[in-house]
Amino acid sequence: MLRIKRVPTILSNYQKDEAEEGALARGCGRNCFRNCCLPGSKLPLYAFPKSDNLELCDKNKIPFAFLDSLLLGEWEDRMERGLFRYDVTACETKVIPGEYGFIAQLNEGRHLKKRPTEFQVDKVLQAFDENKFNFTKVGKEEILFQFGPSEDGEVQFYPNAPIDPNKSPSVVAINVSPIEYGHVLLIPRILEHLPQMIDHESLLLALHMAHEAGSPYFRLGYNSLGAFATINHLHFQAYYLAVPFPLEKAATKKITDIKGGVEIYEILNYPVRGLIFEGGNSLKDLSSSVADTCICLQDHNIPYNVLISESGKRVFVLPQCYAEKQALGEVSAELLDTQVNPAVWEISGHMVLKRKEDYEGATEQKAWRLLAEVSLSEERFQEVTAIIFETISCVVSEKVLPEDKEDVDEVDGIDNGAPATVVSWKQECLVQH
């Protein structure tokens, strides 16, 4: 069993209190999401259209980005009430000079007053443990609103809706250790005590949130266990960043089309290897393909990260191995000293640095070196890709299309000289010519 000493990010003020003050032993007193406090509770409710047809969803949308305004308005209210552990707007941020435009942020507050803990990195799927911190233990002042489907297929907003325990609402909460403006958590079916593992329903909910926000600056991210998730209670993270992530600008190579009009691409010339899912006739088509891929990785115990961008129209799936390398002593002391845990935001190119010396000395080469340690090797990535395609009824061929050969040369230290992955027909897959 691989275990490493980790310093987890504090996502809730009550997480810190429970760890440091033994709050549970003295009783609740926090107006939380458990049976002791839930009866009679109310929260705002944003209800999105049930239809996952993109054209229909757009026609039914309120004529301005209401979710965008609601989220930011509630987030700023919590900021004024002093619920965050530091002022993220005061954190220094810069674009690192170079071709890729990695973004560096100095965020010293994210590593202060944290408690070390044992974190198991060799199991992506772990049972939910009620005795450990989970999001039902937060105070309702940290919850911004409920988020779920409407009853009549149109966008609805209820400023004071009852919380129905029988329906286990999905909620949006603040991240008290924010990385950027508007940093929140989407917690699907909070009362079901779901462990940190993606299923079809939760991923579709995340795509709906990206679509309803309707902002190119709003992205959602997911970290599996073993890929720097710090709490084993199902949640996505999201925030606003007004520039493209370097990952979003990376070169790509189309691999195949699959059912529902979904296209799959491979990321090229970027330090972390991964797949991109785009298009689809509906949100559900796109979500289903990505969820099948995530479930496959979970079932094969492969840690991974997910980035949802372009208002839910583009999804990156990134298997990684940094924590495993760290546990095996294969990461250099120089990288370990930075205390950077490369989760979805770092992999996307937003480098959250905790020491001033790392921020001032940040270069494209250093960012690349860290992320290259995160990536699977070319050989391992092709093995994992083959497993994924087999799961979604595809067969991987080893031949290279002649016109594509120049696109897979070695670039900037990434060995792309291996044969390109080309998918041949089996039931639902189309060969790219």
Q: Are strands 350-353 and 103-106 parallel, antiparallel or unpaired?
A: parallel
Q: Which amino acid is at 137?
A: K
Tokens read off for 230: 């710090």
3-state secondary structure of 289: helix
What residue has token string 């040369």? Answer: 409
Residue 118, beta-bridge partner list: 5
Contact 168, 205 (CB under 8 A): no
Contact 168, 189 (CB under 8 A): yes
In terms of Cβ atoms closer than 10 Å to its own Cβ (0-12, 13-18, 19+), residue 112 is exposed
In terms of Cβ atoms closer than 10 Å to its own Cβ (0-12, 13-18, 19+), residue 86 is middle
Q: Are strands 3-6 and 117-120 parallel, antiparallel or unpaired?
A: antiparallel
Tell me which residue of 154, 177, 145, 116 sits closest to 44, measured CA to CA: 145
Answer yes or no: 193 catalytic: no
Contact 186, 233 (CB under 8 A): no
Secondary structure (DSSP) of 219-241: EEEEE-TTTT--SSS--EEEEE-
Exactly one of 183, 208, 233, 235 is catalytic; which is it? Answer: 235
Enzyme catalytic residues: 235
